[in-house]
Structure 1
């Protein structure tokens, strides 16, 4: 989708910067490693030790999955700060890729749970440096471009993400069928290819973009925020202590730790936005735009809390209650997730072209409406799973078509939210907080992933009758959020100013 229509001339121009395709290739291989490993993660953890798995209960594995995937995205906030203040985006991306490759190599080593969790830690830290900052670099390629072309560029970038995800979720689960650790090792190889592509081509095609820390080039404003930081930390510690004391959470279990992390994420995010709004030295217009970023944060957290069940509850449903036989061959459960990426590859250029062509006709579907559409599509996908779960509750196995249809609806919903939200965040962010705001966007994904893991932990193969209700709850939350975005869209549009 490198052909963009010029609204004035009505002609097609091949005008995307070449640096976009460098970032496309680098992110493609990083996502190959991440999603390939994610496709087998909860399956490996819940497999008996006799079959070389970790032998964890579904509840514990779901909590660990949520903690890991949340940490992957949560680390983008300090990753953004390090890039803005110390490394610059370019170095942060490379250092992150190195840590990710080390993490997957550690996961490929058979051994104790301690080795396994160490590998997950390296991947989380590395992704924190890479994920938000590579998206920031994409945004800087389009710093002086119109909104439609910028959105199209992010859609192309997003297609690269899903191309890597598609092949990762095919080949890693296939190899893991023979040996779990070979699957993890293949993820490390994928990250190695991404590092090579970035190291070789970035200097030429990205030129000086992202080489210098942002804060060094922008005057510092605002008061010292150390007292606010200490206050937030003290408040979090006190709150968790109170919840533990009254038995609302139990931090001696993985589930309790995951719940505590959810409290920490929400509290820190609220404190961060309050600090930026009231102590960040911003103009009134910038404050309104930052508040819009907060609203988008809430929307994306809700969306990912449903969508990311693809690798938790939906993955377990695929393994235990889905007929996966094709002409006598049983598809590995993790491979079915590749349909999501396949749909993105097919429809990303179509959706991207749709936004551009609508803009050429002076019809701009604004960001809040796109969010509303995405949340409604998420709800429709889970309604399909409600019916599939009822089939399983009757004693039969559901067909793969139900999951494929769910992934199709979720994929179209993803295209209306994720690349558009990334683009909107990069446009709405005050320049000196750009890396941090992109990090906040991924903190929303962290919260959604954490909730998805906790929901997946409630998936009890021994209690099939409860499954329809688990999926139905997601339907109601998603529909409600979508309707709220529709209703609030006029106000959100006003606060966004000239940002589309």
Structure 2
């Protein structure tokens, strides 16, 4: 199966694979210790409460993905994807260097902001170039994104292991410094490899090669588009002055950010649909992108509990002793990338095999399966939390099986979704809509942080109900997509 997965792919895919691997090493490594650093009261951390730390964590991870929207716009209209990736990587590295300097809260938050800005530039555009390598689309592009996704998770695995260990057992800031080294290696790989194997890709901003027809139609509707933007600004001002958005606490700031993300996403989709100069077929495809956006937001809200509620559960309610050694709690997050590395080649080969026999499940069916598997994984955590409320430490097998189910669900959703957005998005908006895809991750991360903030440190009795909530909502939405998969597939206009 692995041979079938890797054959006949261009060298450029593997350049992007390793560049993304090192970028994700830096991101996931730092993310693995971020919440622990924020709530640490003993070893030089920020000494926040679990609720406040989880809210800050959610705001940061949400900002990382929210900024992919302006990052995609800059690539589509000014820089092109290659320059956006290069400059974004440099900014990320600088951000991690700032985090490695012990200098108090102001310097720390400056470093977080810098990393978020750089990731917003890099993240959507490297995925867009992967799509450009496969203009024919189809199962081969899906397989390529599965290979690319293995690079993401290989970087994640080593980042969590190395940065997590250094941060928890040596020094928080040494862990942040290791993340900077990872990004430097990613920049070197991209600079050397892109010159030889990515010529002609991502160099000219797509907006500059739009068709005359699309430009004319877009111009006619530009006034309406600007009206939508103005309405969004007014809406946000009203929310602020009426007290709906409360910026006085970390939790309030996170809740306000959620309202802003939803408003921005809805406004942007409306702008593209109404003022984007789309054909009827393109409009229906964008409607499918909206459905996938809602699904991925809900999926990440559950999946990203790995860095929040599941991290807290691993730290406080899981037996981590192995032969007298206390395993770092952050290492439990490594089950996700490890399972991706094991199962991604299997599922990618399965999609190709089924496609060759006209049996490949449609995109909405794969999304439904991913959400249902995520829901089942949290039913496992409901059982684990019922043991934890009795005061006992739970077996690590509960978290292991939870991560197994939600990782297989992830492989049905995330690489398929990445590929789908490159297929369904109108060419001149591909990086911007790829940014919207990551805004879905932004919303999911924010919800994950708010959910973990609901963990009352003095009331473990609430855990089963909280995990049950995630399980029921994820499963129900997955079943809803499964019921309506045929009309959704029809809106895709022949793309599979």
Q: TM-score, normalised by structure 1?
A: 0.96
Q: Distance in 2 between matches of 1:100 and 1:249?
A: 29
Give the drift of 1:268.
Answer: 1.2
Paired position in structure 1 for 2:483: 487
Q: Distance in 1 between matches of 2:7 and 2:409?
A: 28
Give the drift of 1:281.
Answer: 1.2
Instruction: Answer with 216-225 or 366-375: which moved more.
Output: 216-225
Paired position in structure 2 for 1:114: 106
Instruction: Answer with 297-306 or 395-404: which moved more.
Output: 395-404
Q: In structure 1, which of residues 199, 204, 222 is the aligned counterpart of residue 191 of structure 2?
A: 199
Tell whether the 8 Å contact from 1:4 to 1:149 is kept in structure 2 after alignment.
no
Tell whether the 8 Å contact from 2:311 to 2:329 is kept in structure 1 after alignment.
yes
Equivalent runs, 1:99-248 vs 2, <5 Å: 99-143=91-135, 145-176=136-167, 177-219=169-211, 220=215, 221-222=217-218, 223-224=221-222, 225-242=225-242, 244=243
Q: Deviations over 1:103-158 (max 9, x none)?
A: 11111111211111111001100000000000000000001x24110100000000
Tell whether the 8 Å contact from 2:299 to 2:444 is kept in structure 1 after alignment.
yes
Equivalent runs, 1:366-377 vs 2, <5 Å: 366-377=362-373
Q: Distance in 1 between matches of 2:245 and 2:134?
A: 45
Q: In structure 1, which of residues 487, 490, 498 is the aligned counterpart of residue 494 of structure 2?
A: 498
Paired position in structure 2 for 1:17: 10
Equivalent runs, 1:94-493 vs 2, <5 Å: 94-143=86-135, 145-176=136-167, 177-219=169-211, 220=215, 221-222=217-218, 223-224=221-222, 225-242=225-242, 244=243, 249-493=245-489
What secondary structure, in the 3-state scheme, does the structure 2 residue paired with 1:55 have? coil
Root-mean-square deviation (Å): 1.2
Tell whether the 8 Å contact from 2:88 to 2:118 is kept in structure 1 after alignment.
yes
Tell whether the 8 Å contact from 1:99 to 1:123 is kept in structure 2 after alignment.
yes
Q: Distance in 2 between matches of 1:390 and 1:58?
A: 21
Give the drift of 1:98.
Answer: 0.5
Give the drift of 1:474.
Answer: 0.2
Tell whether the 8 Å contact from 1:249 to 1:256 is kept in structure 2 after alignment.
yes
Give the drift of 1:15.
Answer: 0.9
Paired position in structure 2 for 1:87: 79
Tell whether the 8 Å contact from 2:240 to 2:246 is kept in structure 1 after alignment.
no
Give the drift of 1:182.
Answer: 0.6
Runs of 4+ in 1 over 3 A off after TM superposition: 1-5
Q: Distance in 2 between matches of 1:131 and 1:187?
A: 16
Give the drift of 1:419.
Answer: 0.3
What secondary structure, in the 3-state scheme, does the structure 1 residue paired with 2:247 have? coil
Q: Distance in 2 between matches of 1:443 and 1:151?
A: 21
Paired position in structure 2 for 1:28: 21
Q: Distance in 1 between matches of 2:417 and 2:18?
A: 21
Q: TM-score, normalised by structure 2?
A: 0.97
Q: Distance in 1 between matches of 2:79 and 2:246?
A: 38
Q: Distance in 2 between matches of 1:322 and 1:14?
A: 42
Q: Relative to structure 1, is the Cα distance of residues 484 and 346 closer, same or farther in structure 2, using a 3 angstrom cutoff?
A: same
Q: Distance in 2 between matches of 1:437 and 1:301?
A: 14
Tell whether the 8 Å contact from 2:336 to 2:407 is kept in structure 1 after alignment.
yes
Tell whether the 8 Å contact from 1:67 to 1:453 is kept in structure 2 after alignment.
yes
Tell whether the 8 Å contact from 1:3 to 1:15 is kept in structure 2 after alignment.
no
Tell whether the 8 Å contact from 2:96 to 2:115 is kept in structure 1 after alignment.
yes
What secondary structure, in the 3-state scheme, does the structure 2 residue paired with 1:212 have? coil
Give the drift of 1:226.
Answer: 2.2
Q: Deviations over 1:362-383 (max 9, x none)?
A: 1120000001100011011111
Q: Deviations over 1:303-327 (max 9, x none)?
A: 0000001001100111111111110
Q: How many residues align?
A: 487
Give the drift of 1:353.
Answer: 0.2
Q: Where does structure 2 lack aligned partners over 5 or more consecutive residues?
A: none
Q: Distance in 2 between matches of 1:105 and 1:265?
A: 28
Q: Distance in 1 between matches of 2:245 and 2:180?
A: 36
Tell whether the 8 Å contact from 2:91 to 2:115 is kept in structure 1 after alignment.
yes
Instruction: Answer with 292-301 or 267-276: which moved more.
Output: 267-276
Tell whether the 8 Å contact from 1:320 to 1:461 is kept in structure 2 after alignment.
no
What secondary structure, in the 3-state scheme, does the structure 1 residue paired with 2:46 have? coil
Give the drift of 1:230.
Answer: 1.4
Tell whether the 8 Å contact from 2:13 to 2:133 is kept in structure 1 after alignment.
yes
Q: Distance in 1 between matches of 2:467 and 2:7?
A: 44
